[in-house]
Structure formats: C-alpha cells, structure tokens
Amino acid sequence: MEINLVRKSGKFNFEAENTAGFKVELDAKPAIGGEGKGFRPMEMLLVGLGGCSGIDVVNVLTKQKEPLEDIKIAIKATRKDEEMPPIFDVIDIHFELYGTLSVQKVERALAMTFDKYCSVSNILGRSATINFTYTIHQ
C-alpha cells in the first residue's frame, strides 16, 4: 500500500493519490490557516471507518444471501479536546439499511464487522469508544 501527497496550494492544501490513481484533497481547518479546500485528516479517518465497515457489512450480508438494496452510513464523533493531540473520544456510526432484511442477520453482520473484520474500527477502537446502531427500511 502506498499513498503519495503533494502540496497543491496555500499552506496546508495537499492532494493524496494512491497507486491506482485515485485522488483526494486535504486541508487544515481555517482557524490555523487552512482554506477549506478538502477533508481534514481526522475526517479522513472517519471516512476510512465508514468505508471499511460499510464494505464489511455489505460483504457479510451478501454472503448471508440477504437482499440488501441500499446502505447509507452516518458518522458523528467527538474528540478529547483537552488532550494533545486531541484524539477521538466517542464515535457513533449509524447504518441505514434498505431491503427485506433479517434483524438477526443484520445484527450478526454488524457484530462480525466491528468484532472481527473491520481493521479501521479495530485501530480506532483502541483509543475511542465506537458505538454502532442501525435502522432497517423494509
């Protein structure tokens, strides 16, 4: 795995690119001189959590032959602002699942995702509390 960053403009605006050529822009918060031209680095961690857990939930439900029609993920997080560095304290992740899904299989998929498969949640969970909830829309 390799990621390369180049500064695009301003003081803190970077573009990150992976080996497949996909790109994302990052910037610092305006309070320290950022220009709002991209994700902040801590937001990227939450993007990684959402992507990792979403992929795992879809994968497990697919293997369980559940008819998942769509999925949406919302993440809210708080940081330990009194500490330096201000790492995440609590991360709440909510899954909106669409389809005629079994509650038991959804709960199993989520448990497997957060207990076993999602490496990003495993890393973040070492310093933050991660809570997950879900809603099934039939």
CA gap 93, 121 in Å, rounded: 11
Return the pLDDT at 120: 98
Return the pLDDT at 124: 97
Find residue 49's DSSP bridge partners: none
Return the pLDDT at 25: 97
Return the pLDDT at 121: 97
Please answer whether residues 101 and 67 qualify as being in contact, where contact means their C-beta atoms are separated by less than 8 angstroms.
Answer: yes
Return the pLDDT at 10: 81
Return the pLDDT at 9: 87
Q: Three-state SS for 87?
A: coil
Low-confidence ranges of the chain (pLDDT < 70): none
Return the pLDDT at 77: 98
Residue 99: closest CA among 61, 127, 130, 133? 61
How many Cα atoms within 13 Å fall on the side-chain side of residue 127? 13
